[in-house]
Amino acid sequence: MPRQFSTAGWEVIGSSCLVEEEESEWYKPEDFYPVRIGEVFKSQYQVVGKLGYGTFGTAWLCRDLLCVCNLHCQPLHYTYHTASNHKHVTLKIGTLEALQGEVGALRHLKTIKTDHPGSLLIRQMLDEFQINNKNGIFHCLVHPPLAISVKAFRSLLPERALPVILVQLIVKQLLIGLDFLHTEAKVIHTGTSNGIQ
């Protein structure tokens, strides 16, 4: 059942106030779907909060209202539960044109059956669907939520530097994931960011 989110005790920002991506010079309102906290997509995914944005769309933390999970719902590394035992997911919303390449790669990855350990290190697409508004059609991708990024984790450390052993483990995981993409999936990942997930 969808939750009702109270605004009591919170500052409500007016629609005329620009925040986050809206402040960027490249921002065009028609390229972004205007998501609202509490909004439910596909009668399944209720928006809980904003995770981030980019030039091609926004990402949102959502409750999966249809998955009241037990221990056998999904593999543990794909499942994050709340006290009410609803699974949380990440919902990415962008224009069809902007997400076309990503959608193609994710669909391809879903078809691969393998026991390569790197396949477990690649975030899978759980669902996809489209929504319409006055500005056109937007594509929605549903993923398991990720943990803290390496960049954000580093910022929490006293020296802002990762211990050598941790860097070695991160690099090993990246190489195993890339090996799966290249050798089994025949996909080439064309870049990473400072916020490696």
Give the rounded distance of the alpha carbon of 92 from its chain centre: 6
Q: The domain spanning residue 42 has which CATH number?
A: 3.30.200.20
Question: Do 84 and 177 sit in the same domain of this protein?
Answer: no
Per-residue pLDDT, 85:
62
pLDDT digits (tens, 9 = 90+) for 149-159: 888 899 999 88
Question: Do 129 and 154 sit in the same domain of this protein?
Answer: no
Please compute the mean of the pLDDT values over residues 58-77 and round it to a whole number. Answer: 71
pLDDT digits (tens, 9 = 90+) for 114-131: 999 999 999 899 999 999
Q: Domain of 137?
A: 1-146
Q: Select from 146, 170, 188 the last residue of a domain.
A: 146
Please compute the mean of the pLDDT values over residues 46-60 and round it to a whole number. Answer: 92
What total of structural domains would you count in the chain? 2
What CA–CA distance (Å, rounded) separates 187 from 179?
Answer: 10
Structure confidence at residue 81 as a pLDDT band (50, 70, 90): very low
Q: Which of 36, 137, 123, 19 is nearest to 80 (CA)?
A: 123
pLDDT digits (tens, 9 = 90+) for 162-175: 999 999 999 999 99
Question: Do 186 and 154 sit in the same domain of this protein?
Answer: yes
Question: Do 64 and 137 sit in the same domain of this protein?
Answer: yes
Per-residue pLDDT, 77:
43
Question: Do 35 and 23 sit in the same domain of this protein?
Answer: yes
Question: Do 21 and 109 sit in the same domain of this protein?
Answer: yes
Question: Do 121 and 83 sit in the same domain of this protein?
Answer: yes
Question: Do 162 and 184 sit in the same domain of this protein?
Answer: yes
Question: Do 196 and 100 sit in the same domain of this protein?
Answer: no
Question: Do 77 and 94 sit in the same domain of this protein?
Answer: yes
Question: Do 32 and 83 sit in the same domain of this protein?
Answer: yes
Contact present, 67 and 73 (Cβ < 8 Å): yes
Question: Do 97 and 70 sit in the same domain of this protein?
Answer: yes
Per-residue pLDDT, 101:
87
pLDDT digits (tens, 9 = 90+) for 94-118: 988 888 888 999 999 999 999 999 9
Give the rounded distance of the alpha carbon of 90 from its chain centre: 4
Per-residue pLDDT, 68:
64
